[in-house]
């Protein structure tokens, strides 16, 4: 048995490696265990986010947007383009280079902070003992005063659409197509499905998205979801709601998908099919029965508000615990746990975690939706402002969408904000800061926003809450 560490972190994704670095900064002897390795048998650090999730998908989203701009949207700017060509291999090479740079950066950070990296699959046993099995099958046991579980998640499988890794792929496979499919099917019109569907639609694929839910983006504000649906439809995404896949057959290069929609039985044929129905916590083989850690019926680890499990000295963060599966949420949980292990009274405000869909335009949100406030009986005020009335948006040719802000009718404290439009992720972050600082709508109204900027839409939406928007006709306030 090796010498015990102060902290062992299982998993090197955004929740795990950030937790490990913060632990090391606080003077705790720390180890990270990672089961995935690259072709050189070295640990593949960074988890889903850096390797097959956030980063590679955003690289392709950016590349595909630039191609779409060059191929069809620059004429309005007086720029003529002829013979625009698409190099999918070059696009993939750029994506892989970015991933390699970032994962190498994580390795360097762990090394600089003197975090020990252990390669192999880990299982937690009673007494905070961790058994690690390396690629050769050799086992070793490690102990620590604190164990942090950060094993992440994996794409959810559905019985009617088994993954074959060729014609039928999950979100990981969708990042590695060698050519643009003429007909692309996507099962699931949530965040992952929309982003991947957008990539390949921009590159020329005819995309049909089959969503089992009857409501589009049910967790988003209804007005923003409706506006987003209109924009995506104009972009050519064929989103079919209430479409429940019942069967799938692969015949050579053709994928036939049977689904029901209302009382109708339908069949579609595709060249490739992406299954993007969500993600599942990777906890099935993470701990033994005697570990003291328990999970719910979906496999999420039970934790308290500070990410402590029911087993003393064992914590869990990121995708394997309650809440949205977001890299930034997991990272901040990792920091909170590191500081609590060190004895600090750290906590995380789960009410101000932004959600973002990186389509173009982006969709982003923080705080309560209008339907939330209605259901809770909250007396609120609401204001919105369209990008079509923003000078910078007009100059950039990106006028679709709006900013929406809601605040308490009595205290004027900001309760939620929702954006679909250019730079939505960055604009919502401004309001994240405002909510965290307990700002009121009036505070935003009194701030000076640079002109011309996209952020002026935030200012105008705040003014609109009280019927004071300058660059549009205000609706009468109740």
Q: Hey, which residues are catalytic here?
A: 451
Task: Report H helices in 269-353.
Answer: 327-341
The sign one gets for the Cα dihedral 90, 95, 98, 100 is negative
Residues 336/348, Cβ–Cβ less than 8 Å: yes
Query: Rg of the chain's alpha carbons, rounded to an integer?
Result: 24
CA–CA gap between residue 291 and residue 314 (Å, rounded): 9
**Rounded Cα–Cα distance for residues 59 and 469 (Å):** 37
User: What is the rounded distance in angstroms from the CA atom of residue 130 to the CA atom of residue 291?
Assistant: 10
Contacts of 386 (CB under 8 A, 6+ apart): 399, 401, 402, 457, 472
Q: Is the previous residue joined to 452 through a cis bond, with omega within 30 degrees of 0? A: yes
**DSSP assigned state of 360:** S
Q: How far apart are CA 366 and CA 265, in angstroms?
A: 38
Q: Could you write out the DSSP letters of every residue in 326-339? A: -HHHHHHHHHHHHH
- Report d(CA 215, CA 3) in Å as an integer: 54
Place of tokens 């993939």: 92
Q: Which of 134, 130, 131 is nearest to 120 (CA)?
A: 134
314 forms beta bridges with 147
DSSP label at 283? -
Residue for token pair 């809450």: 465
Task: Report the phi/psi class of residue 369: left, alpha or beta, with left for phi > 0 and alpha for psi in -120 to 50.
Answer: beta
Burial (Cβ within 10 Å: 0-12, 13-18, ≥19) of residue 349: exposed
Q: Look at the chain and count its residues.
A: 478
Give pairs for 393-398: CB < 8 Å, separation 24+.
Answer: 393/421, 393/422, 393/454, 393/457, 395/452, 396/422, 397/73, 397/76, 397/77, 398/361, 398/422
What span, in angstroms and rounded, lies between the C-alpha atoms of 129 and 284? 18
CA separation for the pair 321, 334 (Å, rounded): 12
């Amino acid at each position: 048995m090796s010498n015990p560490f102060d902290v062992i972190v299982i998993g090197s994704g955004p929740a795990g490696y950030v937790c490990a670095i913060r632990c090391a900064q606080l003077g705790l002897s720390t180890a990270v265990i990672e089961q995935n390795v690259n072709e050189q048998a070295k640990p593949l650090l960074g988890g889903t986010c850096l390797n097959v999730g956030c980063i590679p998908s955003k690289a392709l989203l950016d590349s595909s947007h630039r191609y779409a701009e060059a191929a069809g949207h620059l004429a309005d700017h007086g720029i003529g383009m002829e013979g625009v060509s698409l190099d999918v291999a070059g696009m993939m090479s750029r994506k892989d280079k970015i991933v390699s740079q970032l994962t190498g950066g994580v390795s360097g950070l762990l090394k600089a902070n003197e975090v020990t990296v252990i390669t192999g699959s880990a299982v937690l046993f009673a007494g905070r003992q961790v058994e690690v099995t390396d690629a050769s099958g050799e086992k070793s046991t490690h102990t620590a005063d604190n164990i942090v579980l950060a094993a992440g998640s994996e794409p959810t499988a559905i019985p009617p659409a088994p993954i074959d890794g060729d014609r039928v792929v999950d979100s990981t496979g969708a990042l590695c197509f060698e050519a643009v499919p003429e007909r692309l099917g996507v099962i699931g019109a949530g965040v992952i499905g929309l982003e991947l569907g957008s990539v390949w639609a921009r590159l020329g694929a005819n995309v049909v998205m089959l969503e089992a839910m009857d409501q589009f983006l049910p967790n988003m504000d209804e007005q923003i979801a409706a506006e987003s649906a209109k924009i995506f439809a104009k972009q050519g995404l064929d989103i079919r709601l209430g479409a429940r896949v019942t069967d799938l057959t692969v015949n050579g290069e053709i994928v036939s998908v049977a689904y029901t929609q209302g009382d109708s039985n339908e069949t579609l044929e595709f060249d490739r099919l992406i299954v993007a129905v969500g993600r599942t916590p990777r906890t099935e083989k993470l701990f033994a029965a005697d570990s003291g850690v328990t999970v719910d019926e979906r496999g999420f680890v039970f934790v308290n508000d500070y990410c402590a499990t029911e087993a003393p000295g064992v914590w869990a963060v990121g995708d394997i615990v309650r809440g949205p599966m977001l890299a930034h949420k997991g990272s901040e949980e990792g920091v909170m746990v590191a500081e609590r292990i060190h004895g600090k009274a750290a906590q995380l405000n789960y009410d101000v975690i932004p959600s973002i869909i990186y389509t173009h335009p982006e969709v982003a949100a923080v705080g309560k939706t209008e339907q939330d406030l209605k259901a809770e009986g909250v007396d609120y005020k609401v204001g919105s402002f369209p990008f079509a009335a923003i000078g910078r948006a007009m100059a950039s040719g990106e006028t679709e969408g709006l900013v929406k802000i809601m605040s308490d009718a009595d205290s004027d404290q900001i309760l939620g904000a929702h954006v679909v439009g250019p730079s939505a992720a960055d604009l919502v972050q401004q309001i994240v800061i405002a909510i965290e600082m307990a700002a009121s709508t009036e505070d935003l109204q009194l701030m000076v926003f640079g002109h011309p900027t996209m952020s002026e839409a935030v200012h105008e939406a705040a003014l609109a809450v009280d019927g004071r928007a300058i660059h549009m006709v205000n609706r009468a306030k109740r």
